[in-house]
């Protein structure tokens, strides 16, 4: 049975693919682009402070640019959300936008500074965070694992102590998201041994699968 359009992007498979993408992006920029995160801006903020303390101003600029581009990415998606009324159409367009940015990265990666490469991928991470927020109708974060770990602890307590069925379901879903995120970093780490800077190409696969899944399940 095909799903209704409004439910497609809250499906667990979508959450798995998005979390894998987010993990892969941050693993890629950390490994290949000078130890900077594209999405984990808390990590960048910490590293920025440390680099300043060590008077490593060139490195500190990398963290600042990632943070600025991430904020810009949020603004871009906010504009899309205001201009595009159809939720399904908007999400597909944003998926295509993410793939297009990654393709630009592939074309530029050998001839452009890591600052711009990380900045472009920060736009992708921002899109993930801003647009995709629900998993089976519950809050979902494909990017920030600190909050997800907190959710695991809270829902584990409610499931075990209060025998809360909803908490048990949320616990399973959140574990699935974190596992997928880690899997994305693992895959990127393996692929990087073979493709190096071009390993960013692997990120197109889960994003393309999201689009394919959407069209298969349309009315």
CA dist., res. 185 & res. 181, Å (int):
7
Q: Quick check: 163 pLDDT over 60?
A: yes
2-6, 42-46, 118-122, 126-130: segment of lowest average pLDDT: 2-6
DSSP codes, 103-122: HHHHHHTTTS-HHHHHHHHH
Q: What is the pTM of this model?
A: 0.91
- Taking the alpha carbons at both ends of the chain, their separation in whole angstroms is 10
pLDDT in tens, 70-97: 999 999 999 999 999 888 889 999 999 9
- Give me the long-range contacts of 157-162 (CB less than 8 A, separation at least 24): none
- List, for residues 16-68, the tens digit of each pLDDT value: 999 999 999 999 999 999 999 999 999 999 999 999 999 998 889 999 999 99
CA angle 113, 117, 120 (to 5 degrees): 140
Number of H helices and E strands in the chain, helices first, is 9, 2
């Amino acid at each position: 049975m095909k799903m209704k359009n409004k439910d497609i992007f809250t499906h667990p498979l979508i959450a798995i693919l998005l979390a894998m993408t987010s993990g892969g992006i941050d693993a890629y920029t950390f490994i290949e682009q000078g130890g900077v995160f594209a999405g984990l801006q808390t990590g960048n903020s910490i590293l920025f402070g440390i680099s300043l303390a060590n008077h490593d101003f060139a490195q500190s600029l990398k963290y600042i640019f990632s943070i600025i581009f991430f904020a810009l990415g949020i603004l871009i998606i906010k504009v899309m959300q205001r201009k595009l009324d159809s939720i399904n159409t908007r999400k597909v367009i944003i998926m295509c936008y993410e793939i297009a940015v990654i393709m630009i990265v592939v074309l530029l990666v050998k001839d452009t500074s890591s600052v711009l490469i990380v900045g472009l991928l920060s736009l992708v991470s921002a899109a993930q965070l801003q647009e995709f927020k629900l998993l089976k109708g519950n809050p979902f974060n494909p990017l920030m694992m600190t909050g997800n770990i907190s959710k695991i602890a809270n829902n584990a307590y409610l499931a075990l102590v209060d025998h809360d069925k909803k908490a048990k379901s949320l616990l399973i879903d959140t574990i699935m998201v974190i596992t997928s995120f880690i899997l994305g970093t693992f895959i990127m780490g393996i692929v990087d041994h073979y493709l190096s800077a071009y390993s960013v190409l692997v990120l197109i696969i889960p994003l393309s699968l999201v689009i394919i899944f959407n069209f298969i399940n349309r009315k």
